[in-house]
Amino acid sequence: MSVTTFSFIDEAANTQGILTHFQNNGFVILENVLTPDEVEYYVDLFDRDRQKWGSPNFWHPFGTYQTRNCHALVTSPEFDQLLRHAKILPLVEFLMGGPTCFSELCLRHMTPYNGTPNQSFHRDRPHWEEHPLRMDYMQLMVYLTDVNQETHCFSLSPESVSEPILGTLGQLDRNGTVDCHGMVGTVVLFNIAVLHTATVRVTKHERKTVQAYYGHRSRPFLSNCSVIPSKFWYHHPDQEIREFYGNLNDTTRVFLSAFESEQDESATVQVSLNNSSESDEV
C-alpha cells in the first residue's frame, strides 16, 4: 500500500489535505516539521536523558522490545517545547477540534535485534464515536533515528471515520497495514483507537522515539504514566500553558500530596480545579 506523506518544507502545512487524510485513515505522516538544528537538539536531549537516567532509574523495560522513560517532563523538561511546537500543537488542536491537554510523554528506545520479528496489533483506547474523527486521545510520535525497511518501525491499519469499527482480524483483513517509515525528525500523528503496533525487525540499528499523548481538557485523563511537574500546570505564568498541563492524573496528585504540606496541597489543588472550571466555561 502506498503511503501519502505531508511536508512542511515550504513552512505552510496543507491543513485541509491533512484533515482529509486523517478522516480517511486515522493517522498522518509529516515530514520536515523540525529543522536540522531542532533534530540535533532533541536527539542530544534524548541521549543525555538516557545516559543520565537509564536503568535502573527512570528508564524501564516496556513489554519485550522497548525501554522507556515516561517521566521525561521531569528529567528533561525541555521536551515541553516539542509537545507545544509551533508546527505541531496547532495541528493537534485542529484535529482534536477543541482545547487540548497533555496526557503522557514517553521517550522510547529499541535496540538492534536478531530474534523473531514481531507485531502485536492493539488499540490503546476505544473510539470516541461522538467526535468527528472518533478520537478521544491522539499520539504524537517523533522519530529521532531514520526509520526504514532495515529498522524497527511503527505500523498501523488505516481506517476511515465512515467505516464500521471491526475487531482486530476483521480490520486487518479489510484494510491491511501500513509501515510508517521516514527520516530522523519525521512526525506521525494518530488516533490511539486505530489498530497499531511496533514492528520489530531483525536489524543492526537502534530506534529512538518521542511518544506523547494529547487529550481533550473536558475528558478523563488518559493514564497515570507521566508525572506532570507543577512548574507547568501551576507555576507557569501563561494561563494557556497551565491549562494545557492542567488535566492532572492521579500520579501527579499523589506526588503533590507527598511533597507539599497539607495546607499547601489543598491550596494548589484548589487553584488547579478553579483553572479547569474556568476553561470549562469558555
Ligand X SMILES: O=C(O)CCC(=O)C(=O)O
The grid coordinates of residue 112 equal 538492534
- Cβ nearer to ligand X, comparing 13 with 70: 70
Pick the closest to residue 192 from 27, 33, 35 (CA basis). Answer: 27
Residue 156 Cβ vs ligand X, minimum distance, rounded to whole Å: 9
Binding to ligand X (CB under 6 A): which residues in 238-277? none
Using CB under 6 A as the binding rule, whether residue 124 contacts ligand X is answered as yes
- Cβ nearer to ligand X, comparing 155 with 257: 155
According to DSSP, residue 164 is labeled P
Residue 53 Cβ vs ligand X, minimum distance, rounded to whole Å: 19
Residue 184 Cβ vs ligand X, minimum distance, rounded to whole Å: 15
- Cβ nearer to ligand X, comparing 198 with 222: 198
Residue 281 Cβ vs ligand X, minimum distance, rounded to whole Å: 33
Pick the closest to residue 113 from 145, 154, 148, 151 (CA basis). Answer: 151
Per 3-state DSSP, the chain is made up of helix, strand and coil in percentages (nearest 5) of 35, 25, 40
Binding to ligand X (CB under 6 A): which residues in 90-119? 108
User: Whats the size of the chain, residue-wise?
Assistant: 282
- Cβ nearer to ligand X, comparing 70 with 256: 70
- Cβ nearer to ligand X, comparing 196 with 236: 196
- Residue 154 near residue 198 (C-beta atoms within 8 A): yes
Residue 207 Cβ vs ligand X, minimum distance, rounded to whole Å: 8
Q: Could you count the other beta carbons within 10 Å of the beta carbon of residue 42?
A: 24
Residue 10 Cβ vs ligand X, minimum distance, rounded to whole Å: 29
Distance of CA 142 to the CA centre of its chain: 8
Close Cβ partners of 149 (under 8 Å, ≥ 6 residues apart): 179, 181
- Residue 96 near residue 142 (C-beta atoms within 8 A): no
Bridge partners (DSSP) listed for residue 147: 182
- Cβ nearer to ligand X, comparing 73 with 107: 107
Residue 208 Cβ vs ligand X, minimum distance, rounded to whole Å: 11
Q: How many residues bind ligand X (CB under 6 A)?
A: 7
Pick the closest to residue 12 from 32, 26, 28 (CA basis). Answer: 32
Binding to ligand X (CB under 6 A): which residues in 144-203? 154, 196-198
Which string of x and - marks every residue 211-240 that binds ligand X (by CB under 6 A)?
Answer: x-----------------------------
Bridge partners (DSSP) listed for residue 67: 61, 109
- Cβ nearer to ligand X, comparing 6 with 190: 190
The grid coordinates of residue 258 equal 507527598
Which residues here bind ligand X, judged by CB under 6 A?
108, 124, 154, 196-198, 211
